């Protein structure tokens, strides 16, 4: 298992060494060594901090039999791991039709495309499938270029849109940009992210903050004059919720300046935030939306681009010529995943349990001087750890210690932005398991004051 550790954390950090020392069993050591020897090393992936032998429901289990509630799951496990209905559907599809060349229509792929058009609002109903979210975002950028005749983009620092060269160019995370030799894609303008806690406007209140950030997008669109698209996460998976009215102002700015609005819903879509699409909280409709991660039900890789009907303008050339573009097995997995989300009421469940978790954590926050903020939507929420609540000095080392205490107690999650405990459980989680996880987090935080 690649339990994602702290973003930017050294592979030889004291907390990580202490964690490894507690689990010296031979099976774990052997698999971790083989992993480190076989894979190219990179941040946030290899080397790993532990192993995995089993995943079911909200649980992952390592080779030594230790079990963890997984509150990370790379955002793929909306319906939990190995959902029996999904496993059965995939097995059934393998028996019926296991592959389809692109130029041959097959029912699962067409039905999935139709379904995405039905659940997306407005006239978002033209679809193309890819094998990953990074590719989906690059397809969206190609559509924007073709539709507008422009090539420039506006996106946000600290955003993540994928690891491909084009996706990394519009992304704003240093780990995906800073060590690439030579220039990235041309014309990729970046502005400060909304609700940036280092911004002086942030402390003036959410309305002022929203106006300032949206005004910067408008300013850049006006000054550049020839931007093809604004691409953004509707809610940053840090997680950070946009200020009130922010996206409405950005939508209006895009309309004024002839730029398309692309919403990257790869981590937040399909109910994670308590709405089917996170942008629905802000009462806007983008021109293009991208989906991925959870779309494959935590089993198979598939992503999708869903565009306005009138953006179907690329018929004379290829924009996403993928071998598995219309794979019937991945399409069946995605279609079944959406059906499970609908049939089990998981969007509504996410809204209800997410509100409960946020209320509980906000009530807890005053008990520790090291909680700077609690924020999120639905079942994507976070606890910001600080060294000083007044100055908001980031508590990176403190957050790392808390993380490993939680891991020791049986809870896995990730740390975002260096100091935000980012908790993203499956939408299927039971209330008692959610409470158990929150108990672990609160206990680990309080241990910092001991």
Q: Is the dihedral of CA 25, 13, 7, 164 positive or negative?
A: negative
Are 385 and 373 within one domain?
yes
Domain count of the fold of the chain: 2
What pLDDT score does 398 carry?
95
Residues 55 and 106 reside in one and the same domain: no
Whether 112 is in a domain gets the answer: yes
pLDDT value of residue 44: 81
Are 183 and 260 in the same domain?
yes
Q: Are residues 236 and 317 in the same domain?
A: yes
Examine the domain organization and report whether 233 and 183 are in the same domain: yes
Cα separation of 61 and 389, whole Å?
36
Q: Is 1 contained in some domain?
A: no
Residue 183 lies in a domain: yes
Distance CA 134, CA 101 (A): 22
Tokens, residue 220: 């850049």
**Of the candidates 284, 312, 343, which is a domain's last residue?**
343
Confidence at residue 9, expressed as pLDDT on a 0 to 100 scale: 45
- Domain boundary pick from 343, 363, 386: 343
Q: CA torsion 356→358→360→362, rounded to 10°? A: -150
- Residue 353 shares a structural domain with residue 339: no
How many Å from the N-terminal Cα to the C-terminal Cα in the chain? 32
Q: Is residue 258 part of a domain?
A: yes
Report how far residue 118's alpha carbon sits from residue 303's, in angstroms, rounded to the nearest whole number: 17
CB 309 within 8 A of CB 123: yes
Please check whether residue 8 lies inside any domain of the structure.
no
User: Domain boundary residue among 310, 326, 343?
Assistant: 343
Give the pLDDT score at 407: 94
CA angle 397, 401, 403 (to 5 degrees): 115
Question: Do 198 and 124 reside in the same domain of the chain?
Answer: yes
**Which residues, in sequence order, are bridge partners of residue 386?**
394
Q: Is residue 2 part of a domain?
A: no
* Both tokens assigned to 136: 């989906």
3-state DSSP percent of the chain in helix, strand and coil, to 5: 40, 20, 40
Residues 305, 242 within the same domain: yes
CA–CA separation, 212 and 220 (whole Å): 13
Establish if 3 belongs to a structural domain.
no
Q: Could you tell me if 254 and 189 lie in one domain?
A: yes
Return the CA Rg of the chain: 22
pLDDT (tens digit per residue) in 318-333: 998 899 999 999 999 9
- pLDDT given at position 1: 41
Collect all residues with Cβ–Cβ distance below 8 Å to 195 and sequence separation of at least 6: 202, 206, 209, 213, 236, 240, 241, 242, 243
Among 429, 426, 427, 399, residue whose Cα is nearest residue 414:
399
* CATH number of 34's domain: 3.90.1150.10
CB of 68 closer than 8 Å to CB of 52: no
- DSSP conformation class of 427: T
In a domain, 74, yes or no: yes
Look at residue 144 in the predicted model and tell me its pLDDT: 98
- At 176 the pLDDT is 77
- Shared domain for 234 and 108, answered yes or no, is yes
Same domain, 56 and 91: no
Separation CA 335–CA 90 (nearest Å): 11
Answer yes or no: do 362 and 398 share one domain. yes
* Residue ranges of the chain with per-residue pLDDT less than 50: 1-11
Domain range for 378 is: 14-79+346-449
CATH number, domain of 101, equals 3.40.640.10
């Amino acid at each position: 298992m690649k339990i994602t550790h702290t973003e930017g954390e050294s592979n030889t950090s004291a907390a990580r060494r202490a964690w490894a020392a507690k689990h010296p069993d031979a099976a774990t050591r052997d698999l971790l060594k083989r992993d480190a020897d076989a894979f190219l090393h990179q941040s946030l992936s290899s080397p790993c901090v532990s192993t995995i032998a089993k995943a079911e429901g909200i649980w992952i289990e390592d080779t030594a039999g230790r079990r963890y509630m997984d509150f990370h799951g790379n955002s793929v496990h909306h319906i939990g791991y190995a959902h029996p209905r999904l496993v059965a559907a995939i097995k059934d599809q393998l028996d019926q039709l296991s592959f389809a060349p692109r130029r041959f229509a097959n029912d699962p792929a067409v039905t999935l495309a139709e379904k995405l058009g039905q659940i997306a609002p407005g006239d978002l109903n033209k679809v193309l499938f890819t094998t990953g979210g990074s590719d989906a975002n690059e397809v969206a950028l190609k559509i924007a270029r073709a539709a507008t005749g422009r090539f420039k983009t506006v996106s946000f620092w600290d955003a993540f849109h994928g690891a491909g060269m084009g996706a990394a160019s519009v992304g704003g995370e240093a780990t995906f940009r800073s060590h690439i030799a030579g220039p990235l894609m041309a014309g990729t303008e970046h502005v400060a992210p909304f609700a940036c806690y280092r911004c002086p406007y942030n402390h003036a209140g959410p309305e002022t903050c929203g106006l300032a950030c949206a005004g910067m997008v408008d300013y850049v669109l006006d000054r550049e004059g020839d931007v093809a698209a604004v691409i953004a996460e509707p809610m940053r998976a840090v997680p950070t919720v946009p200020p009130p009215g922010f996206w409405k102002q950005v939508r209006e700015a895009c309309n004024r300046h002839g730029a398309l609005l692309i919403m990257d819903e790869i981590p937040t879509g399909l109910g994670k935030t308590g709405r089917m699409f996170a942008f629905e909280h802000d009462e806007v409709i983008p021109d293009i939306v991208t989906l991925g991660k959870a779309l494959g039900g935590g089993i198979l890789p598939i992503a999708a681009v869903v565009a306005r009907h009138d953006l179907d303008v690329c018929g004379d050339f290829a924009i996403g010529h993928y071998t598995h573009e219309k794979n019937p097995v991945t399409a069946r997995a995605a279609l079944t995943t959406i059906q499970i989300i609908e049939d089990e009421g998981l969007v509504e469940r996410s809204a209800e349990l997410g509100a409960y978790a946020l209320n509980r954590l906000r009530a807890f926050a005053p008990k520790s001087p090291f909680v700077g903020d609690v924020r999120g939507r639905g079942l994507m929420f976070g606890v910001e750890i600080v060294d000083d609540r007044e100055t908001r000095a980031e508590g990176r080392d403190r957050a790392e210690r808390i993380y490993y205490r939680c891991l020791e107690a049986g809870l896995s999650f990730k740390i975002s932005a260096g100091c935000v405990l980012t908790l993203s459980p499956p939408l299927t989680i039971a209330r008692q398991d959610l409470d158990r996880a929150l108990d672990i987090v609160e206990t680990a935080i309080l241990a910092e004051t001991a």
